């Protein structure tokens, strides 16, 4: 089921930074400052806006990039879009359930992961749920 909320509804759910990054896609959190960058607990990373499950902790890895990095998402949890801002083409990722901006995917960087992808995600786009 897809989540469709008004701007005022999103503003009541998200703090100002989360709203700016996930709903307006303006900026990013500074490298190395996010709550989940070095986070290592077992569980699921959900969308901060709609709480849809996005990433399992088993797909998280330390890429050294300064943001939480995952090598794969939960099947069907994210959508990919071409992002041509800043004079380059990148792959933007958004929550498939609510459309919230999460970050970008980078391929072929040589990490020893099963997908050779790095999903570079803003911590403020996520909400962690401990494994039960």
Catalytic residue flag (residue 120):
yes
pLDDT tens for the chain, 132 residues: list them.
Answer: 578 899 999 999 999 999 999 999 888 999 999 999 999 999 999 999 999 999 999 999 999 999 999 999 999 999 999 988 878 889 999 999 999 999 999 999 999 999 999 999 999 999 999 986
Among 130, 77, 101, 96, residue whose Cα is nearest residue 29: 101
Q: In the prediction, which pLDDT does 106 show? A: 95
Catalytic residue among 50, 95, 98, 120: 120
Structurally, what CATH architecture does the domain formed by 7-130 represent?
A: Beta Complex (2.170)
Q: In the prediction, which pLDDT does 1 show? A: 54
Give the contacts of 109 (CB within 8 A, at least 6 positions apart): 63, 116, 118
Planar angle of CA 16, 19, 25, nearest 5 degrees:
130
């Amino acid at each position: 089921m897809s989540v469709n909320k008004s701007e005022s509804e999103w503003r009541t759910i998200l703090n100002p930074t989360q709203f700016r990054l996930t709903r307006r896609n303006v900026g990013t959190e500074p490298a190395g400052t996010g709550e989940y960058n070095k986070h290592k607990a077992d569980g699921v990373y959900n969308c901060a806006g709609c709480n849809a499950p996005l990433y399992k902790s088993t797909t998280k890895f330390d890429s050294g990039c300064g943001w939480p990095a995952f090598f794969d998402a939960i099947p069907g949890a994210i959508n990919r879009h071409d992002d041509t801002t800043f004079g380059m083409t990148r792959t933007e990722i958004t929550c498939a359930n609510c459309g919230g901006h999460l970050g970008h995917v980078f391929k072929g960087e040589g990490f020893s992961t099963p997908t050779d992808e790095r999903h570079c995600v803003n911590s403020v786009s996520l909400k962690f749920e401990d494994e039960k």
